[in-house]
Amino acid sequence: MGKFDGVLIASDFDNTVVYTEGALRAGTEQPPVSQTNREAIEYFMAQGGIFSIATGRALPAFAPLADKIPMNGPTVLFNGAAIYDFSADRYLRTAFLPESIRGHVHEVQAVFPDLAFEIYHDDNSIQAVNPNAITRSHQHLTHSPTVTISDIDEAPSPIAKVLLEEEPACLARVAEFIRSQPWADTYEVVLSADCLMEITAHGANKGGMVACLASDLGIGRENVYCVGDHNNDIPMLEFAHVGFAPQNAIESVHQVPGVHILPNCWEDAIAAMIAELDGLYGTDVKQMANNFS
Protein backbone atom coordinates (compact mmCIF):
# COMPACT_ATOMS: atom_id res chain seq x y z
CA MET A 1 0.00 0.00 0.00
CA GLY A 2 1.39 3.41 -0.99
CA LYS A 3 0.52 6.73 0.59
CA PHE A 4 -1.06 7.90 -2.70
CA ASP A 5 -3.30 4.88 -3.33
CA GLY A 6 -6.61 6.18 -4.68
CA VAL A 7 -5.24 9.65 -5.53
CA LEU A 8 -5.47 11.23 -8.99
CA ILE A 9 -3.43 14.15 -10.33
CA ALA A 10 -4.72 15.57 -13.62
CA SER A 11 -2.19 18.02 -15.06
CA ASP A 12 -2.19 20.33 -18.02
CA PHE A 13 0.88 19.83 -20.22
CA ASP A 14 1.85 23.02 -22.06
CA ASN A 15 3.29 25.66 -19.73
CA THR A 16 2.49 23.50 -16.71
CA VAL A 17 4.53 20.29 -16.96
CA VAL A 18 6.80 21.77 -19.65
CA TYR A 19 7.23 25.42 -20.64
CA THR A 20 6.41 25.49 -24.35
CA GLU A 21 5.41 29.12 -24.92
CA GLY A 22 8.96 30.15 -25.74
CA ALA A 23 9.31 27.35 -28.28
CA LEU A 24 5.94 28.29 -29.81
CA ARG A 25 6.97 31.91 -30.30
CA ALA A 26 10.55 31.23 -31.41
CA GLY A 27 9.81 28.22 -33.60
CA THR A 28 12.27 26.08 -31.67
CA GLU A 29 11.92 22.58 -30.24
CA GLN A 30 10.07 22.26 -26.97
CA PRO A 31 12.13 21.16 -23.97
CA PRO A 32 11.71 17.74 -22.35
CA VAL A 33 10.14 17.06 -18.96
CA SER A 34 12.73 18.16 -16.41
CA GLN A 35 14.52 15.50 -14.41
CA THR A 36 13.16 16.99 -11.18
CA ASN A 37 9.56 16.81 -12.38
CA ARG A 38 10.12 13.34 -13.81
CA GLU A 39 11.49 11.96 -10.54
CA ALA A 40 8.64 13.53 -8.55
CA ILE A 41 5.98 12.05 -10.83
CA GLU A 42 7.65 8.65 -10.74
CA TYR A 43 7.71 8.81 -6.93
CA PHE A 44 4.01 9.73 -6.85
CA MET A 45 3.14 6.79 -9.09
CA ALA A 46 5.38 4.38 -7.14
CA GLN A 47 3.39 5.35 -4.04
CA GLY A 48 0.16 4.29 -5.74
CA GLY A 49 -0.94 7.58 -7.31
CA ILE A 50 -2.47 7.97 -10.78
CA PHE A 51 -0.88 10.72 -12.87
CA SER A 52 -2.81 11.79 -15.99
CA ILE A 53 -2.40 14.59 -18.49
CA ALA A 54 -5.40 16.77 -19.41
CA THR A 55 -4.44 18.70 -22.52
CA GLY A 56 -5.96 20.78 -25.26
CA ARG A 57 -3.77 18.92 -27.73
CA ALA A 58 -5.28 16.49 -30.20
CA LEU A 59 -4.33 12.84 -30.50
CA PRO A 60 -1.72 13.34 -33.28
CA ALA A 61 -0.19 16.30 -31.45
CA PHE A 62 0.14 14.49 -28.13
CA ALA A 63 0.83 10.91 -29.25
CA PRO A 64 4.56 11.54 -29.95
CA LEU A 65 4.93 12.77 -26.36
CA ALA A 66 2.99 10.02 -24.62
CA ASP A 67 5.97 7.72 -24.06
CA LYS A 68 8.20 10.63 -23.00
CA ILE A 69 6.04 11.68 -20.05
CA PRO A 70 5.86 9.57 -16.89
CA MET A 71 2.15 8.85 -16.53
CA ASN A 72 0.04 5.83 -15.66
CA GLY A 73 -3.49 7.09 -16.22
CA PRO A 74 -5.56 7.75 -19.35
CA THR A 75 -5.17 11.12 -21.07
CA VAL A 76 -7.82 13.81 -21.49
CA LEU A 77 -7.43 15.14 -25.06
CA PHE A 78 -8.97 17.85 -27.26
CA ASN A 79 -9.49 20.15 -24.26
CA GLY A 80 -11.98 17.71 -22.75
CA ALA A 81 -13.61 16.20 -25.82
CA ALA A 82 -12.14 12.72 -25.23
CA ILE A 83 -10.32 10.38 -22.88
CA TYR A 84 -7.70 8.21 -24.56
CA ASP A 85 -5.85 5.19 -23.17
CA PHE A 86 -2.40 5.11 -24.77
CA SER A 87 -1.59 1.76 -23.18
CA ALA A 88 -4.55 0.19 -24.99
CA ASP A 89 -4.42 2.57 -27.99
CA ARG A 90 -8.14 3.39 -27.86
CA TYR A 91 -10.67 6.02 -26.84
CA LEU A 92 -12.46 5.42 -23.55
CA ARG A 93 -14.88 8.34 -23.90
CA THR A 94 -15.68 10.91 -26.56
CA ALA A 95 -17.83 14.05 -26.67
CA PHE A 96 -17.29 15.38 -30.17
CA LEU A 97 -18.89 18.36 -31.89
CA PRO A 98 -22.38 18.15 -33.43
CA GLU A 99 -22.65 18.48 -37.20
CA SER A 100 -24.18 21.93 -36.66
CA ILE A 101 -20.64 23.23 -36.13
CA ARG A 102 -20.19 23.43 -39.90
CA GLY A 103 -23.03 25.90 -40.44
CA HIS A 104 -22.10 27.91 -37.38
CA VAL A 105 -18.48 28.22 -38.50
CA HIS A 106 -19.80 29.51 -41.84
CA GLU A 107 -21.73 32.19 -39.94
CA VAL A 108 -18.56 33.23 -38.11
CA GLN A 109 -16.62 33.30 -41.39
CA ALA A 110 -19.23 35.57 -42.96
CA VAL A 111 -18.12 38.21 -40.46
CA PHE A 112 -14.45 37.16 -40.23
CA PRO A 113 -13.66 35.81 -43.71
CA ASP A 114 -9.89 35.46 -43.14
CA LEU A 115 -10.24 33.62 -39.84
CA ALA A 116 -7.54 30.95 -39.41
CA PHE A 117 -8.53 27.69 -37.76
CA GLU A 118 -7.68 24.03 -37.53
CA ILE A 119 -10.18 21.15 -37.51
CA TYR A 120 -9.39 18.10 -35.39
CA HIS A 121 -10.79 14.59 -35.68
CA ASP A 122 -10.83 11.28 -33.84
CA ASP A 123 -7.93 9.93 -35.92
CA ASN A 124 -4.59 11.45 -36.89
CA SER A 125 -6.02 13.86 -39.47
CA ILE A 126 -6.07 17.63 -39.06
CA GLN A 127 -7.22 20.22 -41.60
CA ALA A 128 -6.40 23.93 -41.63
CA VAL A 129 -8.44 26.75 -43.18
CA ASN A 130 -6.72 30.09 -43.90
CA PRO A 131 -3.49 29.06 -42.12
CA ASN A 132 -1.41 31.97 -40.88
CA ALA A 133 1.84 32.49 -38.97
CA ILE A 134 0.23 31.39 -35.70
CA THR A 135 -0.97 28.20 -37.40
CA ARG A 136 2.51 27.46 -38.67
CA SER A 137 4.11 28.11 -35.27
CA HIS A 138 1.56 25.85 -33.61
CA GLN A 139 2.16 23.11 -36.17
CA HIS A 140 5.91 23.38 -35.63
CA LEU A 141 5.47 22.96 -31.89
CA THR A 142 3.11 19.98 -32.12
CA HIS A 143 4.58 18.37 -35.26
CA SER A 144 0.98 17.66 -36.31
CA PRO A 145 0.36 16.45 -39.89
CA THR A 146 -2.00 19.07 -41.33
CA VAL A 147 -3.72 19.41 -44.70
CA THR A 148 -4.90 22.82 -45.92
CA ILE A 149 -8.50 22.91 -47.15
CA SER A 150 -10.68 25.79 -48.32
CA ASP A 151 -13.85 25.08 -46.33
CA ILE A 152 -14.90 23.21 -43.19
CA ASP A 153 -17.35 21.19 -45.29
CA GLU A 154 -14.34 19.45 -46.86
CA ALA A 155 -13.40 18.04 -43.45
CA PRO A 156 -14.63 14.55 -42.52
CA SER A 157 -16.75 13.69 -39.50
CA PRO A 158 -16.63 13.47 -36.59
CA ILE A 159 -15.04 16.77 -35.65
CA ALA A 160 -13.55 16.67 -32.16
CA LYS A 161 -12.76 20.37 -31.86
CA VAL A 162 -12.10 23.53 -33.85
CA LEU A 163 -9.08 25.65 -32.89
CA LEU A 164 -9.10 29.32 -33.87
CA GLU A 165 -5.65 30.86 -34.38
CA GLU A 166 -5.53 34.65 -34.38
CA GLU A 167 -4.08 37.54 -32.40
CA PRO A 168 -5.83 38.24 -29.07
CA ALA A 169 -7.78 41.29 -30.24
CA CYS A 170 -9.29 39.34 -33.13
CA LEU A 171 -10.14 36.36 -30.93
CA ALA A 172 -11.89 38.69 -28.48
CA ARG A 173 -14.11 40.00 -31.30
CA VAL A 174 -14.83 36.46 -32.51
CA ALA A 175 -15.76 35.37 -29.00
CA GLU A 176 -18.07 38.36 -28.61
CA PHE A 177 -19.78 37.50 -31.91
CA ILE A 178 -20.25 33.85 -30.90
CA ARG A 179 -21.71 34.82 -27.52
CA SER A 180 -24.29 36.98 -29.32
CA GLN A 181 -25.61 34.07 -31.39
CA PRO A 182 -28.67 31.99 -30.40
CA TRP A 183 -26.61 28.81 -30.79
CA ALA A 184 -23.78 29.94 -28.49
CA ASP A 185 -24.73 27.52 -25.70
CA THR A 186 -24.20 24.59 -28.07
CA TYR A 187 -20.46 24.94 -27.53
CA GLU A 188 -17.65 25.50 -25.08
CA VAL A 189 -15.53 28.44 -26.31
CA VAL A 190 -12.39 29.15 -24.30
CA LEU A 191 -8.85 30.44 -24.71
CA SER A 192 -6.07 27.88 -24.27
CA ALA A 193 -3.32 30.42 -25.08
CA ASP A 194 -3.25 34.10 -26.00
CA CYS A 195 -3.60 33.31 -29.71
CA LEU A 196 -5.57 30.04 -29.51
CA MET A 197 -9.30 29.63 -28.90
CA GLU A 198 -10.89 26.19 -28.49
CA ILE A 199 -14.39 25.26 -29.62
CA THR A 200 -15.74 21.97 -28.30
CA ALA A 201 -19.20 20.56 -27.66
CA HIS A 202 -21.20 21.90 -24.74
CA GLY A 203 -19.97 20.18 -21.57
CA ALA A 204 -16.80 18.93 -23.28
CA ASN A 205 -14.23 20.65 -21.10
CA LYS A 206 -11.38 19.52 -18.90
CA GLY A 207 -13.47 19.65 -15.75
CA GLY A 208 -16.19 17.40 -17.14
CA MET A 209 -13.76 14.84 -18.52
CA VAL A 210 -11.58 14.78 -15.41
CA ALA A 211 -14.78 14.08 -13.44
CA CYS A 212 -15.53 11.19 -15.81
CA LEU A 213 -11.95 9.94 -15.54
CA ALA A 214 -12.07 9.95 -11.76
CA SER A 215 -15.40 8.12 -11.81
CA ASP A 216 -14.07 5.52 -14.25
CA LEU A 217 -11.05 4.97 -11.99
CA GLY A 218 -13.20 4.73 -8.86
CA ILE A 219 -11.54 7.79 -7.31
CA GLY A 220 -13.58 10.18 -5.20
CA ARG A 221 -13.50 13.89 -5.83
CA GLU A 222 -11.88 14.40 -2.42
CA ASN A 223 -8.76 12.71 -3.79
CA VAL A 224 -8.53 14.55 -7.13
CA TYR A 225 -5.91 17.27 -7.62
CA CYS A 226 -5.57 19.33 -10.80
CA VAL A 227 -2.98 21.80 -12.03
CA GLY A 228 -3.03 24.17 -15.00
CA ASP A 229 -2.12 27.63 -16.26
CA HIS A 230 -4.83 28.98 -18.59
CA ASN A 231 -8.57 29.62 -18.94
CA ASN A 232 -9.27 26.17 -20.37
CA ASP A 233 -7.88 24.64 -17.15
CA ILE A 234 -10.29 26.50 -14.86
CA PRO A 235 -13.13 23.91 -15.06
CA MET A 236 -10.87 21.13 -13.80
CA LEU A 237 -9.32 23.36 -11.13
CA GLU A 238 -12.85 24.09 -9.89
CA PHE A 239 -13.75 20.39 -9.93
CA ALA A 240 -10.64 19.30 -8.05
CA HIS A 241 -10.56 18.87 -4.29
CA VAL A 242 -7.65 21.29 -4.53
CA GLY A 243 -6.50 23.12 -7.64
CA PHE A 244 -2.91 24.20 -8.27
CA ALA A 245 -1.44 26.74 -10.68
CA PRO A 246 2.16 27.63 -11.58
CA GLN A 247 3.26 31.20 -10.93
CA ASN A 248 3.31 31.79 -14.70
CA ALA A 249 -0.42 31.05 -14.97
CA ILE A 250 -2.68 33.87 -16.10
CA GLU A 251 -4.41 36.00 -13.48
CA SER A 252 -7.87 34.44 -13.93
CA VAL A 253 -6.36 31.07 -12.98
CA HIS A 254 -4.69 32.54 -9.90
CA GLN A 255 -8.10 33.89 -8.88
CA VAL A 256 -9.81 30.48 -8.83
CA PRO A 257 -11.07 30.08 -5.24
CA GLY A 258 -8.74 27.95 -3.14
CA VAL A 259 -6.07 27.54 -5.80
CA HIS A 260 -2.55 26.87 -4.50
CA ILE A 261 0.17 28.86 -6.29
CA LEU A 262 3.31 26.93 -7.22
CA PRO A 263 6.67 28.08 -8.59
CA ASN A 264 6.90 28.86 -12.30
CA CYS A 265 6.48 26.00 -14.72
CA TRP A 266 10.20 26.18 -15.64
CA GLU A 267 11.05 25.97 -11.92
CA ASP A 268 9.57 22.46 -11.55
CA ALA A 269 6.04 23.36 -10.51
CA ILE A 270 4.87 19.73 -10.70
CA ALA A 271 7.59 18.57 -8.32
CA ALA A 272 6.59 21.35 -5.92
CA MET A 273 2.94 20.24 -6.03
CA ILE A 274 3.84 16.60 -5.36
CA ALA A 275 6.10 17.68 -2.49
CA GLU A 276 3.16 19.56 -0.99
CA LEU A 277 0.92 16.51 -1.29
CA ASP A 278 3.69 14.30 0.08
CA GLY A 279 3.85 16.39 3.21
CA LEU A 280 0.09 16.24 3.72
CA TYR A 281 -0.78 12.67 2.83
CA GLY A 282 -0.43 9.91 5.38
CA THR A 283 -0.88 6.18 4.81
CA ASP A 284 -4.64 6.55 5.29
CA VAL A 285 -5.75 8.67 2.35
CA LYS A 286 -9.34 8.81 3.65
CA GLN A 287 -8.12 11.17 6.38
CA MET A 288 -6.79 13.65 3.84
CA ALA A 289 -10.06 15.37 2.91
CA ASN A 290 -9.72 17.46 6.09
CA ASN A 291 -6.05 18.31 5.69
CA PHE A 292 -6.53 21.18 3.23
CA SER A 293 -8.08 24.40 4.40
**Residue 27 has what pLDDT?**
73
Separation CA 158–CA 164 (nearest Å): 18
**Residue 28 has what pLDDT?**
76
| Beta bridge mates, 201 | 187
Task: For the chain, list the domains and their CATH numbers.
Answer: 8-93+205-290 (3.40.50.1000), 101-201 (3.30.1240.10)
Q: In whole angstroms, what separates CA 138 from the centre of its chain?
A: 15
Separation CA 290–CA 239 (nearest Å): 17
Q: Give the torsion through C-alpha atoms of 153, 154, 158, 160, to 10 deg.
A: -90
Separation CA 239–CA 206 (nearest Å): 9
Answer whether 54's CB lies under 8 Å from 209's CB.
yes
**Residue 137 has what pLDDT?**
84
**Residue 284 has what pLDDT?**
43
Phi, psi values for residue 89, rounded to 5° = 55, 50
| Sign of torsion over alpha carbons 118, 123, 124, 125 | negative
pLDDT tens, residue order, the chain (293 aa): 799 999 999 999 999 999 998 876 777 778 999 999 999 999 999 999 999 999 999 898 899 999 999 999 999 999 999 999 999 999 999 999 999 999 999 999 999 999 999 999 988 789 999 999 999 887 766 666 789 999 999 999 999 999 999 999 999 999 999 999 999 999 999 999 899 999 999 999 999 999 999 999 999 999 999 999 999 999 999 999 999 999 999 999 999 999 999 999 999 999 999 999 999 886 443 343 344 44
**Residue 286 has what pLDDT?**
38
**Residue 158 has what pLDDT?**
95
Name the pTM for this structure.
Answer: 0.87
